[in-house]
Amino acid sequence: MLEKHKHVSFPSQTDFPVFRLDAEKCTGCSRCVNSCPIQLLMLDENKKARPNERYDHFRCICCQNCAASCPQDAITIEGDYRVHEGFWKNCHLFAGGKTFPDPLSMGNGTAFPDYEEELTETEKVIYKRRSIRLYKKKPVPRELVHRVLEAGRFAPSAGNNQPWKFVAITNPDIIEEIDLICKKRVRLFPQMLMPHPWVDKKTPGDKCAKPKWWQKALHYTLSRKTPGDVDQRVLGGINTISSDPAYRTFFRAPVLIILAKDVRGIGSPDLDLGICGQSMVLAAHSLGLGTCWVSLIKGITWDHKYVKDVLGLEYPFKIVSSLTLGYPAGQVDNIVARERERVNWIE
């Protein structure tokens, strides 16, 4: 029993993925630096990418967007996120490391381009789609935004209840205003839960820094209620947004789509919103657009007047998440490895 509940706050027995760079290939374009959601990378004095030592470990979430966005294929991420003991233990939940897609069950490590033509267009989008954090300033035509919204509108929902409402924002001033409000609202979270030397992005963190006793107690309490919000990787992402004045929650995307649920929805309206949003994401990428889920939009919900007067949302609608939308600045959609499937076959 005690084993399950210990090491809630930044467990020491953790393996993080490792960043590897082929320095001869790296051109110092900084696309990896700008695409990292935790802002863990920098260019050194030789204009080569490397970890910025912001925390005691790389604390990578292994999204591999740095590798996917590198035009020179100079980056690889080695290893996986594994916690070996305590509340966050996950090392026993995986069988081996990550693998590339194998939809045709070849099982021989065949490269994606060698069988891509045998897949449907939908499958191709599913496997290639990445979260886009690098956008062109080019506006997205209203008719394309409409096509994305329509894909969401026709998503399945429990009881055909369609418990959703969208707010599509193309006004850059409003997006920037929401961005700054969200940054301010979430600022308190890392200050409450992270070692204070890690909160400031401008300087590398003290690698020996530890949370204070009251932070550990608070971390333990919150882990009982909302564990997904206090995972050490999540805190790194929140800290990135809240502590760096230059970083933007919505990546300066030309379109922000807010997804709200009808709280009276049948069954699980949160699940319905996820299905709805995924339909929008796949439609967007099939149209040559890019998207990124940003649930930190919920920081705006503390400002009830703004949500009602500016966004036009009030009861029974409640914000669940948001999607950034725009034209990717360069190639980011790409194939990356993912954790092996966990399936119990019963035949």
pLDDT band of 241, cuts 50, 70, 90: confident
Bond from prior residue into 316 cis (ω within 30 degrees of 0): yes
User: In the predicted model, is pLDDT for residue 184 greater than 90?
Assistant: no
Mean of the per-residue pLDDT values of the chain:
91
What pLDDT score was predicted for residue 54?
87
pLDDT at residue 143 tops 90: yes
User: What is the model's pLDDT at position 185?
Assistant: 86
Higher pLDDT, 255 or 235: 255
- pLDDT per residue over 248-305, tens digit each? 999 999 999 999 999 999 999 999 999 999 999 999 999 999 999 999 999 898 889 9
Identify the pLDDT of residue 303: 87
**Interior angle at CA 10, CA 9 and CA 14, nearest 5:** 135
Q: What pTM, to 2 d.p., does this model score? A: 0.92
Percent of the chain with pLDDT over 90: 62
For residue 149, pLDDT beyond 90? yes
Q: How high is the pLDDT of residue 293?
A: 96
Given this model, what pLDDT does residue 302 score?
86
Which domains does the chain possess?
142-170+254-326 (3.40.109.10)
pLDDT band, very low/low/confident/very high, at 172 (cuts 50, 70, 90): very high
Give the residue, 117 or 1, on which the prediction is more confident. Answer: 117
pLDDT band at 2 (very low <50, low <70, confident <90, very high): low
- Rounded distance between C-alpha atoms, residue 56 and residue 54, angstroms: 7
Q: Is the pLDDT of residue 1 over 60?
A: no
State pLDDT tens for residues 26-52.
Answer: 999 999 999 998 889 999 999 999 998
Q: Is the pLDDT of residue 173 over 90?
A: yes
For the chain, give the longest Cα–Cα distance. 59
**How high is the pLDDT of residue 235?**
87
